[in-house]
Amino acid sequence: MFDISFERVTPRDAPLNGVSAVAHHQRLAWGSLAYAVDVALTHHAEWIFRVRFDAHIAQWRVPPAGRWAPDCVYGFQQAWGWPSDNALLFPARAGPHIFNASRTGPLGEPAVLDGAREAGLRFCWMHVDVWLLKPELRVLKPAESRGSTGVRRWTSPPSLQANDSQPAAGYNHTNFAHRRRALHSAWATYARAPLPRELTD
């Protein structure tokens, strides 16, 4: 992964005119992820687990290893309906589709959906508890504060059924939205967030 410092962005790493910093950093990350997929395939990996470097996975209820479905991309549906790109478990063969750095359209969640469609996968939704740990707003300059800051958390709704899945082809985020969409919480500062014990000890 690229480690992009908010205070030391070189001209080479700066966004081009008309490109948001978020989209630019996402494109840099996608290039790194595409490289990681190439390395995994070179080493004959069968599965890839992608987790953001600033994420903490408190719960990730996949089936036991050896029982993962070869047509599944395991993850969670974000509160606004996209399949999350924060943490994904997927067959390695699908990696070049999901993390295709040559895409000209939006990356992040839309690219995950497009890649899963191309690879003929379905989304296998599962119970998760995922935390994102971002810089607090108070440490950023106003121009750097666009986008999310502080602590964000996604938890699967209790109504999510075991073995719930949805084909990527014809994906409709409104299907069973009340049952599938993760609950989202956010805190501007770390002090306000009820962080898991393993992050505070």
Question: What pLDDT digit, counting tens, does each position of 97-142 carry?
Answer: 999 888 888 888 999 999 999 999 999 999 999 999 987 766 655 5
Burial of 100 (0-12, 13-18, 19+ CB in 10 A): middle
Q: Cβ(151)–Cβ(186) under 8 Å?
A: yes
pTM: 0.84
Give me the pLDDT at residue 200, please. Answer: 83
Burial 160-181 (b: 16+ CB within 10 A, else e): beeebbbebeebebeebeeebb
Q: What is the mean pLDDT of residues 59-87?
A: 94
pLDDT digits (tens, 9 = 90+) for 173-187: 999 999 999 999 999
Q: Residue 127 and residue 182: Cα distance in Å, rounded?
A: 9
